[in-house]
Amino acid sequence: MYRNFAIVPRIIFGRGSLNQLGDVLKEKRVTDGGYMVFVIDDVFTDKPLEGRLPMEGKDLLLRVNVADEPKTTYIDALVAQIRAYSDVTPDGIIGLGGGSTLDIAKAVSLMLNNPGSSADYQGWDIIQNRAVYHVAVPTIAGTGAEISRTAILTGPDKKLGINSDYTLFDQIMLDPDLLAGVPKEQWFYTGMDCYIHDVESLNGTFINQFSKSYGEKSIDLCREVFLGENDSAQGDKLMMASYFGGMSIAYSQVGACHALSYGLSYVLGTHHGIGCCITFDYLDEIYPAGVKEFRQMMDKHEISLPRNLTKGMDDASLDLMVTTALNLVPLWENCLGSDWKNIMTRERTLELFKRM
C-alpha cells in the first residue's frame, strides 16, 4: 500500500514576504465579530516583529513560552484561554517561532475543533474534525515542522505527535529575514536537526526516489550552509533545506538518532535539536560518513556539546530511556531493517545511553 499523503497547499517564499501576511489573512476573515490569534514565541515580546503583525479589531496576541518543549497540558490551557476570550471560534491561528511554537499553533488549531484533551490525540489519525485555518511563519530553520503532518507533544505517558492530515498548515510563509537574531548555538542545533533528518532518510531501508530527491538537495544545502563560505543567502538556503528535509522524511522515516534522542528528551527534558546532536555524536557505527561530516561542521563552528548527561542516573530512569527509544518501531525498522530487534538490543541501547 502506498501512502496518499496531504501536503501544505500554499507557500510564500522570500525576504520581506511577512509584509504580505495581512493580505493573506484578509480573505480568511469571514466571521462577523471574528478574530485571528497570533501565537508568537515570547522571545519576541516587545521586539519589532510584534509591531509588524497585521492585527485588527478583536485579534488576540498569544505569547507562548518554549523553555520547555510543548506539553499537552500547555496546549489544553492555551485552548481554554482562547475559549475564555470569546465564544466565537477564531478565523485563524498564525504561529510565529521555531518548531516548538509551530507545533503549539498546530495543536491549538486542532483542539479548537475537537473535544477533550490534546493527550487523547497523540498517535496516528485519531483526530476527527479538521483544524481551524492555520498559518506557519518560521523564525528559525531546520525542524521541518512547517511542512510535517505532526505536532510533537509531551503527554502524561508519552512523547508522541498528533499525526494527521488535518495537522498540516494551510499556509506557510518562509521569510529568511526572520532568522536574524537566532543565537549561534541554537542555529547550529536546529540546523543539524535538518542535516540528521537527511542522513537518516537517505541511509534508511525505506528510501525511495521521492525521499532521495528531496533529501539529497536538502543535505547539499546543509553542506553549503555549515561547511561553505558564509554568504548572504545562508538563511534562504537553510529555510529550503528544512522544507526539503521535511519532505524527504514525509515519505520515508527518521532513524536511530531520533529514536534515542526521544529517550533523552522524555526522561531528561533535553530539547530536540541539541538532543539529536548529542546522540548523533555516538552513532559512528550506524552512520559513519554522516557522523564524520557532522564533526567537521561542529569543528568549523566551534560547537562543544554537553557530556555526561546520564552519569549517576538510577537504573529505573535509564530503563525508561531505553524503553522510550525502542518503542519507536518504524524508526528502527527504517534504520536497521526488519531484523532490528536482534541488532539494537536493550543492552546495546543501554550502553549507548550510558556513554552519553
The grid cell for 1 is 500500500
- Beta-carbon contacts of 4 under 8 Å, excluding residues fewer than 6 positions away, are none
Q: Which of 90, 92, 144, 176 binds ligand NAD (CB under 6 A)?
A: 144
Q: Residues binding Zn ion: what is the number (CB under 5 A)?
A: 1
Q: Does 236 bind ligand NAD (CB under 6 A)?
A: no
Q: Which long-range contacts (CB under 8 A, 24 or more apart) does 80-85 make?
A: 82/37, 82/108, 82/112, 83/112, 85/60
Applying the rule CB under 5 A, the residues between 326 and 355 that interact with Zn ion are none
The yes or no reply on residue 181 touching ligand NAD (CB under 6 A) is yes
Interface pick for ligand NAD out of 186, 205, 213, 327 (rule CB under 6 A): 186
Grid look-up 545562508 returns 234
Kindly state the cell numbers that stand for 222. Answer: 546543509
The full DSSP string for 151-216 is: EEEE-SS-EEEEESGGGS-SEEEE-GGGGTT--HHHHHHHHHHHHHHHHHHHTSTT--HHHHHHHH
Tell me: does residue 261 bind ligand NAD (CB under 6 A).
Answer: no
Question: Is residue 122 a contact point for ligand NAD (CB under 6 A)?
Answer: no
For 290, the enclosing helix (H) or strand (E) is helix 288-300
Part in contact with ligand NAD (CB under 6 A); list of ranges 99-107, 122-130, 198-206, 283-291: 99-107
Q: Of 155-214, which residues contact Zn ion (CB under 5 A)?
A: 193
Comparing CB distances to Zn ion, the nearer of 234 and 265 is 265
Q: Which stretch binds ligand NAD (CB under 6 A): 65-73, 109-117, 121-129, 336-344?
A: 65-73
Q: Which is nearer to ligand NAD, 97 or 290 (CB)?
A: 97
Q: How far is the CB of 145 from Zn ion (least distance, A)?
A: 9
> How many Cβ atoms sit within 10 Å of the Cβ of residue 16?
10
Give me the half-sphere count of Cα atoms (radius 13 Å) on the Cβ side of residue 282: 22
Task: By CB under 6 A, name the one of 72, 164, 190, 270 that touches ligand NAD.
Answer: 190
Which residue among 122, 148, 218, 270 contacts ligand NAD (CB under 6 A)?
Answer: 148
Among 18, 64, 78, 100, which residue sits at the site for ligand NAD (rule: CB under 6 A)?
Answer: 100
What's the residue count for the chain? 356
Nearest to 2 by CA among 208, 170, 213, 217: 208
Provide the binding-site residues for ligand NAD, judged by CB under 6 A: 41, 43, 66, 69-70, 97-101, 103, 139-140, 142-145, 148, 150-152, 178-179, 181-182, 186, 190, 193, 272-273
